[in-house]
């Protein structure tokens, strides 16, 4: 079976989905990404993709209503790849805006979309709720693209409900989490972690990005007592190649917090990410929207103290496994960080490990997707 994936070639999470199939002999896996991601591809990342038998194709451009030459060139490239490599399934790994491309492909090509959280609950919702001619066109193209998918693999029930609300049939949508390899994570060597200013550190495990609630985080850190800031440093993650004004502004705000010591890491390999999670005294993730966060599952497998925001997460998997911060008030995160570093409940760690072992297995989740492929 020949599968063509469209996603972020530098994404650890995209790699997890794709590599599950690329290492199996019955699949030939191709990967195409947008040019802005392709330009950031480093030699070590390229070697990792090659070792996993992932064939990387020349990039396409981002979809644009204002540069139709590039848009039509990208459509032609996708059609060429599907034709020349006898692609059986075209799988988009981030729902919005990539679902738009499905409008321009042959009905004969089987199509799958993965939704992750912010792609549907922030980006797609924003387009659907905004006015103006541009947004009306994008809304029509996005909804049409989702409806043209043969299957949609969503990482949370909230995403499924929202897609249903805009007219996407529930029969083509299935809950599929990325999942984690618990045994592999447990065996990870902490020596591979990134360097931090202090041996004891708190890890903000998502990119420095507006959707990951950086302003909320900064307000919470400002409220921490001096003894916490003295004893612990903070570690943040930079999206590869991001030198935007937003990123620079966040760094400036962090630098202005008295007594705060922090580090910023970039281009973490999977072993480095696992080792860093395992070594942290506390990891938190407080995005504005989310699916089934794989980083949380990894923390649960490592028995790493964890704080999550009060989003509508999968109850069966996440209830009782972490401290919970009220996303409407930064003081709540401040309080949870203090508790997490001074008196984290041991019962949360034990419950988290048992739940991820039972409900968060990568093998179990990816086998669901494999059955979808086979049915198509």
> Using one digit for the tens of pLDDT, what is the confidence trace for 303-356?
999 999 999 888 888 999 999 999 999 999 999 999 999 999 999 999 999 999
The residues of the chain scoring below 70 in pLDDT are 190-191
Distance, CA of 220 to CA of 254 (rounded, Å): 11
Q: By CB neighbour count within 10 A (0-12 exposed, 13-18 middle, 19+ buried), where does 94 fall?
A: buried
HEC profile of the chain: CEEEEECCCCCHHHHHHHHHHHCCCCCEEEEECEHHHHCCCCHHHHHHHHHCCEEECCCECCCCCCCHHHHHHHHHHHHHHHHHCCCCEEEECCHHHHHHHHHHCCCCCEEEEEECCHHHHHHHHHHHHCCCHHHHHHHHHHHHHHHHCCEEEECCHHHHHHHHHCCCCHHHEEECCCCECHHHHHCCCHHHCCCCCCCCEEEEEEECCHHHCHHHHHHHHHCCCHHHHHHCEEEEEECCCCCCHHHHHHHHHHHCCCCCCEEEEECCCHHHHHHHHHHCCEEEECCCCCCCCHHHHHHHHHCCCEEEECCCCCHHHHCCCCEEECCCCHHHHHHHHHHHHHCCCHHHHHHHHHHHHHHCEHHHHHHHHHHHHHHC
- The structure's pTM equals 0.79
Torsion on CA atoms 364, 205, 322, 200, rounded to nearest 10: 130
Tokens of 153: 């693999």
C-alpha distances in Å from residue 283, one per residue of 101, 289, 306, 322: 36, 18, 5, 10
Is residue 114 within 8 Å of residue 153, measured between CB atoms?
yes
Provide the pLDDT for residue 181. 86
Q: Which residues, other chains included, contact 219 with Cβ-Cβ below 8 Å and sequence gap of 6+?
A: 330
Q: Which residue has the tokens 């507006």?
A: 210
- Distance of alpha carbon 144 from alpha carbon 156, whole angstroms: 21
Structure tokens at 363: 């093998």
- In the chain, the domains with their CATH numbers are 2-178+362-375 (3.40.50.2000), 182-359 (3.40.50.2000)
> Considering the chain, what is the average pLDDT of its residues?
94
């Amino acid at each position: 079976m020949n599968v063509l994936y469209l996603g972020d070639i530098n994404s650890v999470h995209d790699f997890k989905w794709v590599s599950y199939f690329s290492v199996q002999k019955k699949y030939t896996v191709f990967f195409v990404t947008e040019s802005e991601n392709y330009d950031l591809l480093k030699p070590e990342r390229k070697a990792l993709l090659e070792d996993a038998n992932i064939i990387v194709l020349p990039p396409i451009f981002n979809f644009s209503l204002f540069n139709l030459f590039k848009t039509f060139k990208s459509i032609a490239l996708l059609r060429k790849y599907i034709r020349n490599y006898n692609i059986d399934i075209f799988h988009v790994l981030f729902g919005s805006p990539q679902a738009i491309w499905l409008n321009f492909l042959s009905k004969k090509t089987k199509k799958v979309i993965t939704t992750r959280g912010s792609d549907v609950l922030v980006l797609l919702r924003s387009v659907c709720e905004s006015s103006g001619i541009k947004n009306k066109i994008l809304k029509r193209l996005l909804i049409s693209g989702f409806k043209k998918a043969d299957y949609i693999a969503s990482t949370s029930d909230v995403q499924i409900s929202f897609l249903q609300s805009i007219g996407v049939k529930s029969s083509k949508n299935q809950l599929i989490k990325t999942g984690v390899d618990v045994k592999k994570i447990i065996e990870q060597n902490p020596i591979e972690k990134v360097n931090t200013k202090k041996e004891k550190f708190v890890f903000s495990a998502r990119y420095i990005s507006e959707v990951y609630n950086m302003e909320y985080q900064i307000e919470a850190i400002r409220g921490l007592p001096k003894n916490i800031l003295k004893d612990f440093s903070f570690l943040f993650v930079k999206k590869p190649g991001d030198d935007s004004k937003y990123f620079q502004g966040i760094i400036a705000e962090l630098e202005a917090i008295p007594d705060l010591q922090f580090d910023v890491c970039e281009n973490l390999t999977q072993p480095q990410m696992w080792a860093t999670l395992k070594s942290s005294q506390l990891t938190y993730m407080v995005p504005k929207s989310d699916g089934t966060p794989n980083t949380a599952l990894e923390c649960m497998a490592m028995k790493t103290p964890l704080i999550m925001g009060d989003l509508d997460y999968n109850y069966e998997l996440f209830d009782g496994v972490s401290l919970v911060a009220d996303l409407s008030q930064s003081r709540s995160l401040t309080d949870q960080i203090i508790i997490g570093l001074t008196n984290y409940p041991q019962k949360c760690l034990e419950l988290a490990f048992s739940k991820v072992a039972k409900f968060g297995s990568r093998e179990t989740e990816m086998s669901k997707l494999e059955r979808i492929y086979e049915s198509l």
